[in-house]
């Protein structure tokens, strides 16, 4: 049966498979299946557990929220509403220094609230914002850093795929997690804004000598301006309907996702998206959602292995033996998230750690909702952590400028990485904040 030796062996095998470039879904599946076979003494029992887990996971109503929100984001992205939104925010901030970088942060905040995927935001604004900032003589590290750094808002501001996955794995209310993510997302956006304005004031040359002026090529005819306003207004109404419906209790998250998809479909048709484009959006949704659902199936198996093998108890004892201070235990968990963020993606980090860290956090007195927000922000910081920050590589892959090196993007992302750390410290270590956050709901 399970014990310390079994727990250590499973963890080492899992880490070894991942470091050998075995996909996380396969590594989790293999370790879970053969680990359960070892514990039960039967491959047939392990197979039955796998079949039962798959059936229970796929038929669960809450899992529909993932493809629905992804589809909503695809419709919005293909409609061009993200570009409309960027242009509107850009003109609205024309009197502020560094307005293009500010528009990128604002656009990423709203676009992230629609798509819920940091990688999608990073890719979209690399194509939308970077050419504009180059045209206005922005320093490349400043331009690319603002894109990669502000893309982290996509996983905190709901609807967020990470919050959905966290809620499923930790068996927490997705609606409560969505509501809890709103204020930290706004605070994080405000911190980015303050940094950019201060930096642009101190070093205006890095933000273009005349970046606050509206150039002649940005002045569009009245009809284009009206279409742009309708596109931006449509996105704003969509966010209010989805989040407001969840907050007021009018919709469950899954129902809100369905309403959001219908609204996004109408907006896409209004913006002139063809039937072929709509079909491509559906196919892309399948490509994004199917791997996530397979990951969740293997994660459920992994959770069963942790419970039957006594691995959770072993790791909890190991963490608590490092120190009896809850803050020290939380600090160790945050460091683990930072380390994993250098090598694997956010969803995989949640699947690997939340089944272990969630019960541990509850045992030392942390509210599960506040702990989830701490975890999401820490994992987002991992997406910017060298040498393999996933958002940085996404930005690099989305642009064609050969002079925009990974080192340039990482250098520009450092201030945003520091701000993410400050937010983690604010929620986790300032007395009262972690208990006040859940009281908002």
Return the closest-CA partner of residue 237 out of 337, 110, 340.
110
pLDDT per residue rounded down to tens, the chain (441 residues): 556 777 778 878 887 887 787 877 788 888 888 888 888 888 888 888 888 877 776 666 666 777 887 788 788 878 877 677 777 777 777 778 888 899 888 877 777 666 666 766 777 778 778 887 888 889 999 999 999 888 878 778 777 778 888 988 888 888 888 888 888 888 898 999 999 999 999 998 898 754 444 444 444 566 667 777 887 788 778 878 887 887 777 888 788 888 888 988 998 898 888 989 899 989 988 887 777 777 777 877 877 787 777 776 777 777 777 666 788 888 888 888 887 776 666 777 888 788 888 888 888 888 888 899 889 888 888 878 776 676 787 788 778 788 888 889 889 999 999 999 888 888 877 756 655 555 444
- HSE on the CB side for 213, CA within 13 Å? 10
The model carries a pTM of 0.74
Q: Name the residue ranges covered by the structural domains of the chain.
A: 4-440
Backbone angles phi, psi at 207, to 5 degrees: -110, 20
pLDDT at 211: 43
Q: Where are the alpha helices (DSSP H) in 20-42?
A: 24-40
Please report, for residues 1, 34, 37, 44, the alpha-carbon distance to residue 41 in angstroms, rounded to integers and kept in the order given. 9, 10, 5, 9
| Nearest C-alpha neighbor of 79 from the set 348, 299, 347, 269 | 269
Q: Are 254 and 104 in contact (CB under 8 A)?
A: no
314 near 88, Cβ under 8 Å?
no
Report the pLDDT value the prediction gives residue 113, as an integer from 0 to 100: 65
**Tokens for 305?**
């292995």
Residue with tokens 């520091």: 418
- H-helix or E-strand spanning residue 340: helix 326-341
**pLDDT number for residue 195:** 95
DSSP 159: S
Structure tokens, 371 = 């702990």
Residues contacting 137, CB < 8 A, separation 6+: 208, 209, 211
């Amino acid at each position: 049966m399970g014990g310390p030796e079994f727990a250590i062996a499973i963890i080492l095998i899992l880490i070894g498979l991942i470091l050998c470039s075995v996909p996380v879904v396969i590594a989790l599946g293999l370790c879970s299946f053969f680990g359960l076979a070892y514990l039960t003494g039967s491959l047939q029992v392990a197979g039955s557990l796998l079949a039962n887990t798959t059936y229970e996971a796929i038929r669960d109503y809450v899992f529909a929220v993932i493809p629905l929100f992804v589809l909503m984001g695809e419709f919005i992205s293909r409609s061009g509403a993200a570009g409309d939104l960027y242009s509107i925010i850009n003109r609205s901030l024309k009197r502020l220094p560094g307005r293009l970088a500010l528009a990128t942060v604002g656009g990423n905040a709203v676009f992230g609230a629609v798509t819920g995927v940091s990688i999608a935001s990073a890719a979209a604004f690399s194509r939308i914002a970077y050419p504009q900032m180059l045209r206005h003589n922005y320093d490349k590290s400043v331009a690319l850093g603002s894109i990669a750094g502000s893309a982290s808002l996509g996983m905190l501001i709901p609807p967020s795929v990470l919050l959905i996955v966290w809620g499923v794995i930790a068996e927490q209310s997705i609606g409560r997690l969505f509501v809890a993510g709103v204020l930290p997302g706004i605070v994080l956006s405000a911190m980015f804004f303050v940094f950019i304005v201060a930096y642009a004031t101190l070093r205006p040359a890095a933000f273009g000598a005349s970046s606050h002026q509206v150039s002649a090529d940005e002045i569009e005819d009245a009809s284009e301006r009206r279409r742009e306003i309708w596109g931006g207004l449509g996105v704003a109404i969509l966010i209010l309907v989805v989040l407001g419906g969840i907050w007021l209790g009018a919709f469950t998250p899954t129902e809100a996702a369905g309403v959001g998809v219908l609204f996004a479909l109408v907006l896409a048709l209004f913006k002139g998206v063809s039937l072929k484009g709509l079909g491509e959006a559906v196919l892309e949704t399948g490509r994004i959602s199917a791997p996530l659902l397979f990951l969740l199936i293997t994660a459920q198996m992994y959770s069963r292995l942790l419970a039957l093998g006594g691995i959770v108890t072993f790791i909890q004892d190991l963490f608590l033996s490092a120190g009896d201070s809850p803050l020290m235990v939380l600090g160790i968990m945050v460091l683990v998230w930072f380390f994993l963020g250098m090598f694997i993606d956010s969803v995989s980090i949640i699947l690997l750690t939340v089944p272990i860290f969630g019960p541990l956090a509850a045992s030392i007195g942390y509210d599960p909702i506040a702990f989830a927000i701490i975890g999401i922000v820490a994992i987002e910081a991992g997406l910017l952590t060298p040498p393999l920050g996933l958002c940085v590589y996404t930005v690099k892959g989305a642009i064609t400028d050969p002079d925009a090196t990974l080192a340039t993007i990482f250098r520009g992302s450092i201030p945003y990485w520091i701000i993410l750390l400050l937010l983690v410290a604010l929620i986790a270590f300032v007395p009262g904040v972690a208990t006040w956050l859940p009281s908002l709901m």
